């Protein structure tokens, strides 16, 4: 597996290489095993298939209270945007003269909302919301965009299945290099 050798020295190596002998050693192995509880604490990213979503659930109705208290000051009570990003509306404007990119009009995946709110919001106290509160604010933002109903439970099973309006609006431009780099 280890494809990366360390080449030692300058002139001496050149001489050895010229003689047809490569001088190489493995890099040192200085990493310490990461304890499982540390990995669990840090592993907060959620991909589109929902792997890693925690237990618990909430509806938009339940989430509304949290949103008013913890989010509305910066994003507006109905996600209309205030000092910071607008979170709702703008559907169908991606080709209009005035384009409004929001969770509802632009985001391809609902799981990103859980991932992002949990890791970074509220701005001044990230990672302070309980999992149910994150599910609640996710549900409320989706509800504001007409994507889920007010009483739909949002949880680890339902969230990855939420169909975002702009789901097919993204094109993966990344092409793997044809030649393997090692």
- Can you give the binding site for ligand HEC, defined by CB under 6 A? 70-71, 73-75, 84-85, 87, 103, 113, 116-117, 121-124, 137
For position 167 contacting other proteins by CB under 8 A, the verdict is: no
Coil vs helix vs strand at 90:
coil
- The helix (run of H) or strand (run of E) holding residue 6 is strand 6-7
For position 48 contacting other proteins by CB under 8 A, the verdict is: yes
For position 170 contacting other proteins by CB under 8 A, the verdict is: yes
Please, what is the angle between helix 131-144 and helix 60-70, to 10°?
100
Spatial CB neighbours of 39, under 8 Å, sequence gap ≥ 6: none
Question: Which tokens belong to 134?
Answer: 């994150």
**Cβ count within 10 A of residue 22:** 10
Q: In Å, how far from its chain's centre is CA 108?
A: 12
Among 1, 11, 18, 19, binds other proteins (CB under 8 A): 1
In the bound state with ligand HEC, the residue whose beta carbon lies nearer, of 124 and 181, is 124
Nearest CA-CA partner of 135 in 41, 63, 46: 63
In the bound state with ligand HEC, the residue whose beta carbon lies nearer, of 84 and 99, is 84
Q: Please calculate the CA angle 94-176-51 and round it to the nearest 5 degrees.
A: 70
Among 18, 20, 38, 161, binds other proteins (CB under 8 A): 38
From the list ligand HEC, other proteins, none, partner contacted by residue 68 (C-beta under 5 to 8 A by kind)? none
Applying the rule CB under 8 A, the residues between 94 and 113 that interact with other proteins are 94-95, 99, 101, 103, 106-109, 111-112
Spatial CB neighbours of 73, under 8 Å, sequence gap ≥ 6: 82
Coil vs helix vs strand at 77:
coil
From the list ligand HEC, other proteins, none, partner contacted by residue 87 (C-beta under 5 to 8 A by kind)? ligand HEC
Among 37, 83, 161, 163, binds other proteins (CB under 8 A): 83
Applying the rule CB under 8 A, the residues between 15 and 34 that interact with other proteins are 27-34
Question: How many angstroms separate the CA atoms of 49 and 109, rounded?
Answer: 10
The residues binding other proteins (CB under 8 A) are 1-4, 6, 27-34, 38-39, 42-48, 73-74, 83-84, 94-95, 99, 101, 103, 106-109, 111-112, 115-116, 119-120, 123, 126-127, 169-174, 176-177, 180-182
């Amino acid at each position: 597996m280890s494809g990366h050798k360390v080449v030692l020295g300058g002139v001496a190596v050149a001489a050895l290489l010229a003689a047809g002998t490569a001088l190489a050693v493995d890099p040192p192995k200085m990493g310490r095993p990461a304890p499982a509880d540390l990995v669990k604490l840090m592993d907060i990213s959620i991909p589109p298939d929902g792997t890693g979503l925690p237990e618990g659930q909430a509806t938009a109705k339940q989430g509304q209270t949290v949103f008013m208290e913890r989010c509305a000051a910066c994003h507006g009570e109905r996600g209309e945007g205030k000092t910071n990003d607008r979170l709702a509306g703008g559907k169908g404007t991606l080709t209009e003269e005035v384009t409004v990119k929001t969770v509802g009009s632009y985001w391809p995946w609902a799981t990103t909302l859980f991932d992002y709110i949990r890791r970074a919001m509220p701005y001044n106290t990230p990672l302070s919301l309980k999992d149910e509160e994150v599910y609640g604010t996710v549900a409320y933002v989706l509800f504001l965009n007409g994507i889920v109903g007010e009483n739909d439970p949002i949880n680890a099973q339902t969230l990855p299945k939420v169909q975002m309006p702009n789901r097919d609006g993204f094109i993966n431009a990344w092409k793997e290099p044809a030649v393997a780099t090692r």
